[in-house]
Amino acid sequence: MIYLDHAATTPVPRAVADAMYDVLTGNFGNPSSQYPLGRAARELVSRCRETVAESLGCGAEQLYFTSCGTEGDNWAVTAAAWQNRHLGRHIVTTAVEHNAVLEPCRWLEKQGCEVTWVKPDGRGNLTAEQVLSAVRPDTALVSVMMVNNETGCVFPIREIADGLRERNPRTLLHTDAVQGYLKVPFSAVELGADFITLSAHKIGGPKGVGALYVGGRVRNPRPLLAGGGQERGLRSGTEATAQIAGFAKAVELRSENLPEKLERMRSLREYAAARLSAIPDLTVVADGAAPHILAVSLEGYPSQNIVSELGEKGICISAGSACHQGKPSHVVAALGLPKRTAAGVIRLSFGPETTREDIDACAAALQAHHDARFPML
């Protein structure tokens, strides 16, 4: 199998699985229990929180474990709207956010909020000024992702944070950093966002666990779940101790020689762009600066057909345009691409394990797909 879909999920290293197995079979106590087995589990969760917080450049007390990135995004959006409900009911976000941000914003629209959707340019980029120009005195929240999951474009979160201090210092800033964490170097303090969403399974960790950073400007954040008082009373429910242990181990492994890993992925992306661009009718469709995502289009060839055919050959990629009845994804639609280009968008995404041979095999399969079929659109 050739796996080129690391933006969807990542392989779990044996060391991560072993860390989880040790918890499941040995240190399986409930962290809320008062006897030694429970205290050991509680201490493990505390150590894991410190590991993740150190990688993010924040205090452990600012980090809350969640079940996934979607949960973190929903929590941040609704908590920000709640804190600033007396300031106003206006939200600024982008038209290319993950659905985990788009849908809670749409839900808040139904509750009477007004949402401004900022569109990127035709190559997927947007500027801080585009976002800041939409901010008003009644803007409660700005939510802009760090790295777009389909195009790989990196958005200027720090510049937006700096601009908000002048434009409206009470407006809270959230960034979905699921595709940026340990791929685009940053620290929470330098970034300046009030909420930062993370997910473990994008960096070699297990599915079912993530984290939300909550900055000092957030006052008494609205609890996500009421109950037994876990996560300092803000997200009740017995901690997913094994997943948390796997998350921390994945952070440790990914952080080792991280600059070299990122440079290698960046080099692979450049190699893939050059290699694939030699295929007739194939073009790179976005100026993504993230080292692990490359969006291209085999113009006139429906992306779902490409993904299915390559999948039968053991090559895993994804359709950048998640077509439904001929309609492109909301990200591709926001780029305003020609119909034939939009219909053929596919995404390759890389990890530290990816090789040039993987890319060569994918390029050969795409070339064969092109040669065997006339464009269908």
| Residue reference for tokens 């997200």 | 235
| Residue reference for tokens 């008062």 | 34
DSSP character at residue 244: H
Where in the chain does DSSP place strands (E)?
2-3, 63-66, 90-94, 114-118, 139-143, 172-176, 195-199, 210-214, 282-284, 293-298, 315-316, 318-319, 345-349
| Residue reference for tokens 């900022």 | 118
**φ and ψ at residue 311, rounded to 5 degrees:** -60, -40
Do residues 205 and 6 touch, judged by C-beta distance below 8 A? no
Residues contacting 364, CB < 8 A, separation 6+: none
DSSP character at residue 196: E
Residue 333 in tokens: 């639609």
| Residue reference for tokens 């101790």 | 241
Task: Tell me which residues are annotated as active site.
Answer: 323
| Residue reference for tokens 């998640």 | 322
DSSP secondary structure string, 272-325?
A: HHHHHHTSTTEEE-----STTEEEEEETTS-HHHHHHHHHHTTEE-EESS--BT
